[in-house]
Amino acid sequence: MKPGPTATIYRGTPRNLAALARRLRAGELVAVPTETVYGLAADAGNARACRAIYRAKGRPATDPLIVHIHSLAELGELAVPNGAARRLAAAFWPGPLTLVLPKRAAVPDVVTAGRGSVAIRMPKHPLLRRLLKLTGRPLAAPSANPFGYVSPTTAEHVRSGLGRRIGHILDGGPARVGLESTIVDLRDPAAPRLLRPGRITRLQLEKVLRCKLAGPAGRSAKPGAAQIAPGQLARHYSPRTPMVLHRRLTAAAAAKGSRADAWIFLRRPSRLRGPNIFWLDSQGRLAGAARRLFSVLRRLDGAGYSRLHAELAPPGGLGEAINDRLKRAAAA
């Protein structure tokens, strides 16, 4: 694809939202804010527009897209919901939860990688909800970055990665969650599976469903095979700089380590300072660590370090999602 002019970043004014809605209805691409990460949106019913998403990202056709809806009524138009899906939607929508269900004919095959299921969520970000309502159509939107790279959590992240491949970016501020949505496979409501952990945790889901979720969540799809949902490849969300993960990162290990490497602690170390010492949250709070993870990885990836050392989160809860992203980012 030939480099074009740099994408325009738009504030979320009524005039800009109306103009971007017209562009989406006309089959153009618009990068949009969500509460999780920024997405690259197209009219989900327009196969040509959805194919343009794949081209802009360099995304393989085997990796399906998530469809974003504004109202619960749209769920039944795109998918075949069941009781389990309705319970989770009532508990967590709008919010960072994606449901995989049998699809209806209204969803083009390009959106679902040719599979008979579709991944759907109702986002919470107010600007995206207003844009969805103005557009009047569901929007297919994977993360707005070159395929496989660290997901974008600001409009500038989008412009740095796709700025010469797309024309329009809606700025909704930094993403509040910072990790992609939780994905649950409900094609068989009697045997729900957690495909990708996120801000909505396994325990929260199991409490609503009143059953255990099958796993493990970290199961990886084979390259070249059509996936059920995004985020299933062993290597994903990856910086270009090699990464090493540590169950627990100590100040002593970082102090003795190479100054050419960056050291990323979960919480701010009390007795260690230096230009190559970083942390995800000053108090080690998992919500803060999740929110900052991708922005820290992006910052350090462009800083010339030889290697990134990162500390894993405690297992369980939101730590499961943080560790899922770290392990895929560090995979060979």
In sequence order, which residues have a C-beta less than 8 Å from that of residue 184 and are 6 or more positions away? 88, 97, 98, 99, 100, 192, 193, 194, 195, 205, 213
In sequence order, which residues have a C-beta less than 8 Å from that of residue 326 and are 6 or more positions away? 243, 245, 293, 310, 312, 313
Q: In the prediction, which pLDDT does 101 show?
A: 98
| Residue extents of the structural domains in the chain | 8-209, 243-330
pLDDT digits (tens, 9 = 90+) for 278-321: 999 999 999 999 999 999 999 999 999 999 999 999 999 999 99
| CATH number of the structural domain 8-209 | 3.90.870.10
Q: How many CA atoms lie within 13 A of 148 on its CB side?
A: 11
pLDDT digits (tens, 9 = 90+) for 69-112: 999 999 999 999 999 999 999 999 999 999 999 999 999 999 99
> In which residue are the tokens 């290697």 written?
307
Beta strands in the chain (DSSP E): 8-10, 30-32, 39-43, 66-68, 97-102, 117-121, 139-140, 168-170, 182-185, 193-196, 243-246, 261-267, 277-281, 307-311
> In which residue are the tokens 């660590």 written?
289
Q: What is the value of pTM for the model shown? A: 0.95
* 214 φ, ψ (degrees, to nearest 5): -70, 160
CA end-to-end distance (rounded Å), the chain: 28
Q: How far apart are CA 290 and CA 184, in angstroms?
A: 20
Residue 154 pLDDT class (50, 70, 90 cuts): very high
pLDDT digits (tens, 9 = 90+) for 43-74: 999 999 999 999 999 999 999 999 999 999 99
Residue 270 pLDDT class (50, 70, 90 cuts): confident
CA dist 138 to 24, 133, 165, 212, 251, Å? Answer: 10, 9, 22, 31, 48
Dihedral (Cα; 50, 64, 160, 15), 10-degree rounding: 50
